[in-house]
Structure 1
Amino acid sequence: MSFQEWAAAQLAELELLGSMFPTRDELEVLDQLALAELRDYVDGSSPPPSCRAQFVIRQRLQDVDFHMSCTFPPQYPCVIPEITVTSPGLGRAQQTRLQAGLRGYLTEVCLGEVCVLSAADWLRDNLQAFLSETASPAPPDSHASPPREAFSRLWIYSHHIYNSTKRKNILEWAKELGLTGFSMPGKPGIVCVEGAQSACEDFWSRVKVLTWKRIAIRHREDVSLSGEGGEGAVPSVDSLRKFSGFQEAAFDPRGPRGNHMDLGLLYQFLQERGCCHVFQMYFGVEGR
């Protein structure tokens, strides 16, 4: 599929969702500019959108309110959407397990197809099981399979990163969670974190609730460490890292506020670490 075909599928799904959730209390598009750009691009009257469609679906199931925050990556539906579920009826551990279950379902069943409604149906069918969990841990089952481990690398895009407190938080949280990668301040702002999937999700849950003009996961890479179905040695989190430590990286800052980086140096930095493929995902052009 082409970018325009992906965009057309995204727009069609948004229009379907709008008909199924007609009020703003049920469906709220968070960035009307992104929706307008998407519509104009599908019509052929404008270049590819500069930002991504983001929206929230609010529902009430089993007397519990929940919010499903969705962001469409540019390649959706050929990659799964970014969906975060929050509910006051779920504790932190329950919510983490619910999130992991939903992501596993989407990865196995929905890749290549529009799937926001499928995600809502999965929540409707499975939410009660998570609500029924008690705070006390269940007794260990000697026959149960160990939980699957996974490695993740998140490529986060922000309209800008200037604030010194945010920059300090990004550095401290990444180190606290044992994540490696880098943060590029300025306009745009870029953050890459890699490590245990649960730690990456924790980092993202902290960062995204800060006040931003725009922030989203532009791309993510997930690798199962269960070793199921493969041959040879099972990879470890450390063996999959492309970065050593976590740093704030500046690339010859320019402009009156010193907030524009030399993107050629950024591309070189990514190339040296085998990550240059993400440059086009961020900026829409091949790096050099």
Structure 2
Amino acid sequence: MSALQRAEWQLAELELLTSMFPRHDELQIPDQLALAELRAYVEGSASADSPPPPPTSTPDFLIKLKLDSAAMDRMDVVLSCAFPSQYPSVLPEITVRCAGLSRAQQTQIRTELNAYLMENCQGEVCVLSAVDWLKDNLQLFINNSLSAAPAPKKESSSPRPQEVFSRLWIYSHHIYNKTKRKNILEWSKELGLSGFSMPGKPGIVCVEGPHSACEEFWSRVKVLTWKKILIRHREDIPLDRQVKDSVDSLRKFTGFEEATFDPHGNRGNHMDLGQLYQFLNEKGCCDVFQMYFGIKGR
């Protein structure tokens, strides 16, 4: 499938979704410029002798559903979707949020939904299929949430497992997509993690905080669509009894931020690695530079 054919399919699906969810509170496309670029590319390629270049980004959007639920009168569900440039040759990046479900259940829904789309919709537009799947299956997750009663705690003389502070250094081939960048910022804040993310090529993410929160962050990030992503290095430090004080004293970063370092290149996707090294050096993390890039920074 050519780039023009993929763009035509993307635009056709977005126009269909707009007609099916006409109200602003049902369908939101934050980046209208990306949508305009997509439309200009499709329409310009059909009418011009020299077609315009493909758009530099693809639209991301939110679909807000109100589903009938036996457990809750009306259940608000938000489907967040981003089209990779190769869509529909590859699956879109879809996440699902629902206040009636735990984070673990939302992760499970995303995993099962992606598996369904992979099996039934590979190579085809599939957002409406995802919406239908949610309507058919979300109630099952609600029922399981309500019926899963916590197991009674047993008295035990064994000591409480020792808490652990973790720091994950994550490497990605690239981080361009606005939805992924937004998710990284929102999830780190939600989980109480500090650190930073550097978009572009390559992409770098560092998160630090309680071990369980770091693992939850990684479980969410790794299931998104990536060309390549891995934990390049990790640090796990046992804590003493004063858990909160210990966590705060071990942090090298204050809060979480997206950090850029003199973006350059044709699309501004490459960062100045010298400035990155200085940033890491100021945080007392300069040794990790060689782990990422195989050379000593300066």
Q: Deviations over 1:47-78 (max 9, x none)?
A: 21122211111111122011111100000011
> 1:239-267 CA deviation, whole Å, 9 max, x = no partner?
x9584559xxx999688xxx96369xxxx
Residue matched to 1:145: none
The correspondence for 1:118, drawn from 119, 126, 129, is: 129
- Report the counterpart of residue 29 of structure 1 in structure 2: 29
How far apart in 2 are the matches of 1:158 and 1:77?
16
1:122 and 1:8 mapped to 2: Cα distance?
Answer: 25
Q: Deviations over 1:103-152 (max 9, x none)?
A: 111122111000000000000000110010134369xxxxxxxxxxxxx9
**Counterpart position of 1:6:** 6
Question: Could you tell me whether the CA contact under 8 Å between 1:28 and 1:57 is conserved in 2?
Answer: yes
Task: Give the superposed CA RMSD.
Answer: 4.6
1:37–1:46 Cα contact (<8 Å) kept: no
- Residues 71-90 of structure 1 deviation map (CA, whole Å, 9 limit, x = unaligned): 00000011100111111122
Rate the CA distance shift 1:76–1:158 in 2: closer, same or farther, 3 A.
closer
- Look up the equivalent residue of 1:32 and give its one-letter code: Q
Q: Which residue of 1 aligns with 2:78?
A: 67
Q: Which deviates more from structure 2 when the two are superposed, residues 110-119 or residues 100-109? A: 100-109
Listed as ranges, the gaps of 5+ residues in structure 2 are 46-50, 69-73, 152-170, 179-184, 207-213, 236-258, 274-289
**Alpha carbons of 1:102 and 1:46: their partners in 2 closer, same or farther (altered >3 Å)?**
same
Within the alignment, does 1:100 sit opposite 2:118 as a pair? no
Check 1:32–1:201 CA distance in 2 against 1; reply closer, same or farther (3 A cut): farther
Q: Which runs of 5+ in 1 are unaligned?
A: 139-151, 160-165, 176-181, 206-216, 223-239, 264-268, 274-288
Q: In structure 2, do the counterparts of structure 1 residues 129 and 50 end up closer, same or farther at CA, with 3 Å as the change threshold?
A: same
Shift of 1:25: 1.5
Is the 8 Å Cα contact of residues 64 and 89 (structure 1) preserved in structure 2?
Answer: yes
User: In the alignment, what sits opposite 1:42?
Assistant: 42
Contact 1:154–1:192 (Cα < 8 Å) also in 2: no
Shift, 1:184, TM fit: 3.9
2:176 matched residue in structure 1: 157
Query: Taking every aligned residue pair, what percent have the same amino acid on both sides?
Result: 46
The residue correspondences of 1:53-202 to structure 2 (distance < 5 A) are 53-62=59-68, 63-133=74-144, 134=146, 135-136=148-149, 155-157=174-176, 184=198, 190-191=203-204, 199-202=217-220
TM-score (norm 2): 0.55
Q: 1:77–1:156: structure 2 CA closer, same or farther, 3 Å change rule?
A: same
Structure 2 letter corresponding to 1:84: T
- How many residue pairs match? The answer is 210
Q: Deviations over 1:197-254 (max 9, x none)?
A: 965343589xxxxxxxxxxx7x5159xxxxxxxxxxxxxxxxx9584559xxx99968
Report what 1:261 is aligned to.
271
